[in-house]
Amino acid sequence: MFFAPRFRAFAAVAALAAASAIAQAQQALPNVVILATGGTIAGAGASAANSATYAAAKVPVDKLIAGLPEISKVANVRGEQVFQIASESFTNDNLLVLAKRVSALAKQADVDGIVITHGTDTLEETAYFLSLVVRTAKPIIVVGSMRPGTALSADGALNLFDAVNVAASKDAGGKGVLVTMNDEIQSGRDVSKVVNIKTEAFKSQWGPLGMIVEGRNYWFRAPVKRHTMQSEFNIDEITALPAVDIAYGYGSVPATAIDAFAKSGVKALVYAGTGNGSVADRIVPTLQKLRADGMQIIRSSRVSDGFVIRNAEQPDDKYDWVVAHDLKPQKARILAMVALTKTNDSKQLQRIFWEY
């Protein structure tokens, strides 16, 4: 009995010391904010056997975070539900709202990294847009999943766990916006969804920047194109995005779609040409007239890999057209919209397509 009071006092002091140590350890962890927008990573299917049949954009961000039990050892994580939509339904306004929120959070001293959960269909467009217009050196990671969390062997939880780990890593900063899918760390500029039914769905023709395994980043290359802090564009100065659309090239293609886009008042047309961005002879006069009327013409290619070579199969100098370099049509559209907020000079546009 003699020792009981002293023991209780000792136990109380020890408990306080332990609690204080835990609090200090937690404070030492990076602070990561997850901005949720919807998609399959927030999807739910009727049964575990439904890996492809499900409803996207159902699970709220706090439930996504709760599904990552180990995450409290990695970072202090909090979530915001910015949207709850399937990403095929994203609009330019969604891009502006999201980017402005990312920019505001990135300025906060108590935010060390940002994760955006997103549908996979247009994830590559959002990731590139953020990389072009958010001026920060902090890690920004966009992540999705190919299977809903209710499915057998769902990929979302590990993809999100990886995204938070990368967002909490100092060595992930200054590399542009990144995408973590299927153990790989991809450049938001380079990556595209190239398979629509596998977890190994996202590829860059130039390869991933690195890999993440059990919370550790393994880097193998770094981006050479301008992004984030090196960008001349700033979301804080952008209030609207000009209309830019994509016309697809194929055998026997008519000018119908191009004429319709012209009538709708697009500022630039991305032509997803065949091969090296080639344009059918019967379409050239239509594009020449639209260029003469002030519309910018940007030659991309429907071919998944490679890059469009200026003046190779089309006299771009003579026609005053722009080539999209290695950017797929959907990426070229994003860059064209951002570039047109600053310039409508075709030579400046071509410089921007070489540099970003």
**Catalytic residue set:** 40
CB of 145 to ligand DAS, least distance (A): 7
- Structure token pair of residue 113: 């990294």
Residues 173-232 touching ligand DAS, rule: CB under 6 A, are: none
CB of 42 to ligand DAS, least distance (A): 8
- Structure token pair of residue 95: 């891009």
Q: Which stretch binds ligand DAS (CB under 6 A): 68-76, 80-88, 301-309, 325-333?
A: 80-88
Q: Does 278 bind ligand DAS (CB under 6 A)?
A: no
CB of 209 to ligand DAS, least distance (A): 22
Residues 103-122 touching ligand DAS, rule: CB under 6 A, are: 119-121
Select 88 or 237, whichever has its Cβ closest to ligand DAS: 88
Mark residues 124-163: x for contact with ligand DAS by CB under 6 A, - for none.
Answer: --------------------x-------------------
Alpha-carbon gap, residue 98 to 148, rounded angstroms: 23
Burial 161-182 (b: 16+ CB within 10 A, else e): bbbbbbbbbeebbbbbbbbbbb
Neighbour-count burial of 317, counting CB atoms closer than 10 A to its CB (0-12 exposed, 13-18 middle, 19+ buried): exposed
Q: Does 39 bind ligand DAS (CB under 6 A)?
A: yes
The answer to whether the CB of 87 falls within 8 A of the CB of 121 is: yes
Alpha-carbon gap, residue 348 to 297, rounded angstroms: 13
Q: Does 329 bind ligand DAS (CB under 6 A)?
A: no
CB of 121 to ligand DAS, least distance (A): 3
What count of residues does the chain have? 356
Q: Does 94 bind ligand DAS (CB under 6 A)?
A: no
Neighbour-count burial of 129, counting CB atoms closer than 10 A to its CB (0-12 exposed, 13-18 middle, 19+ buried): buried
Residues that bind ligand DAS (CB under 6 A): 39-40, 56, 86-88, 119-121, 144
